[in-house]
Structure 1
Amino acid sequence: MSSSLPASVDLNRPIVKNTPTREVRNRTSGANRPETGDRRVQRTKTSLRAALIGLAREKPYDSIAVKEILDRANVGRSTFYAHFRDKKDLLESGIHEMLRSVHGRPRVRDALEQVIAFSLPILEYVNQHRRADGPKMMRAGRIVMHDHLRDVLADLIAEDIALVIRGRRSPPRMPADLVARHVASTFVLVLNWWVDGEAALTPREVDARFRSLVVPTLEAL
């Protein structure tokens, strides 16, 4: 099962928490500025993200100062604040970069399968980057990133669940928004368990464990 977030997701428009939507925000400071195709801007953002992740592997997230990020990335303060509000904004932008990289695969036909089709591509993305990037991020930084991932996924899952129950004569047996939050929270729980653990599991093996936890709930909708 290799499908992921559907190609209809608009990743450059604001996302409102707890509202079903396919819109994943492109993080910027102040007004949400549209993403440009300028390669220099993209290189700058990539350098800033890499600097923050590198520092988060060396020291607690809360102790990282913006100046340290700027010094490591060799980026000026005004340039940083032209794109991000603060270090949390920068960290969360990595979530959206990841989703942009995995969302463009076609939708699957089975509606229930579509609800959890995001899992394997995200796990493969995480596995690829954690192998290539060396030591893992310290726990505090991962908590911030995974909390935001959970919120974004809950919104995306809620829309897929709405498609599953659309047209039914009887209401769902469980509130759709509760199920969406359950699936998103379970995924992040499994992701943390995998990243923190010592078991050498492949993304497919982790995906299978995630599915075993959430499929019964989805089938009970």
Structure 2
Amino acid sequence: MDTRVERTRRALQGALLELARERPLDDITVGDITEHADVHRSSFYQHYADKETLLADALDGAVDAAEAELGDLAEFEQPIEGPPHALTVYLSEIAANAEVYRRVLGDRGSAVVAARVRARIDVLVREGITQAGGGTYAGLPIDVVAAGITGSALGVIGAWLERDPLPPVDVAADWLWRVLLGPSGAWRA
């Protein structure tokens, strides 16, 4: 990708994230974003159809970082004890943008962004199940398993974000990991 294109997109994403930490997405205009990013309004529309797509792209960075950290689950010879580092990386990014996530994933949030976050987590879950062999889930359709795990993950993330003060990332990672493992630690079997 052209470095100018990448630089413009990063500037727009960063500007929107900064503004969204301060006020609701509905109160932020394209003009606010372009002014904050120091780019022309036409540049915004060369890259994005709307601010929700821009926000979804900005939040995708957290999933990208987690994917890079996840690596190949098949390399693990022993069951993973405790939350994988990728989970902590992902939750750290969410914590850094907690107010933004509260707004977009809440009851009056952005359906576009929530769907994108759900879809990205779903992809990670499917890859993890496939790489791990999915033995525990043999005979179950992968889309059903992925939907259940993704929904649980989003539920825990939402409950974590609603707490005031926000519990530390390592606490949230432990909560999420324990919920995903279930009472019997099914992923370790």
TM-score, with normalisation over the residues of structure 1? 0.65
Cα distance in structure 1, aligned partners of 2:24 and 2:46:
25
Alignment-derived partner of residue 182 in structure 1: 148
Which of 160, 177, 187 is residue 194 of structure 1 equivalent to?
160
Change (3 A) 1:212 1:173: farther
Deviations 1:169-199 (A, max 9, x none): x972543212211222222222222222124
User: What displacement does 1:139 show?
Assistant: 3.9
Deviations 1:31-68 (A, max 9, x none): xxxx33x1x43332222122222332333223432222
> Quick check: 1:126 aligned with 2:132?
no
Please state whether the residue corresponding to 1:213 is helix, strand or coil: helix
Please state whether the residue corresponding to 2:22 is helix, strand or coil: coil
Please state whether the residue corresponding to 1:197 is helix, strand or coil: coil
Percentage of identical aligned residues: 22
Contact in 2 for aligned 1:190/1:210 (Cα 8 Å)? yes
Cα distance in structure 2, aligned partners of 1:138 and 1:120:
16
Contact in 1 for aligned 2:65/2:89 (Cα 8 Å)? no
User: What displacement does 1:81 show?
Assistant: 1.7
Cα distance in structure 2, aligned partners of 1:104 and 1:164:
17
Q: CA RMSD of the aligned region, Å?
A: 3.1
> Quick check: 1:154 aligned with 2:122?
yes
Q: Which amino acid is 1:159 matched to?
A: E
Alignment-derived partner of residue 54 in structure 1: 18
Higher helix share: 2
Cα distance in structure 2, aligned partners of 1:202 and 1:126:
11
Alignment of 1:161-180 (within 5 A): 161-165=129-133, 172-180=138-146
Deviates more, 1:49-58 or 1:86-95: 49-58
Change (3 A) 1:176 1:138: closer
Alignment of 1:201-216 (within 5 A): 201-216=167-182
User: What displacement does 1:73 show?
Assistant: 1.9
Contact in 2 for aligned 1:61/1:138 (Cα 8 Å)? no
User: What displacement does 1:212 show?
Assistant: 1.5
Count, aligned residues: 176
Alignment-derived partner of residue 72 in structure 2: 107
Cα distance in structure 2, aligned partners of 1:138 and 1:61:
11
Cα distance in structure 2, aligned partners of 1:137 and 1:53:
7
- Structure 1: 5+ residue stretches without partners: 1-34
Contact in 2 for aligned 1:59/1:138 (Cα 8 Å)? no
- Structure 2: 5+ residue stretches without partners: none
Q: Which amino acid is 1:102 matched to?
A: A
Alignment-derived partner of residue 186 in structure 2: 219
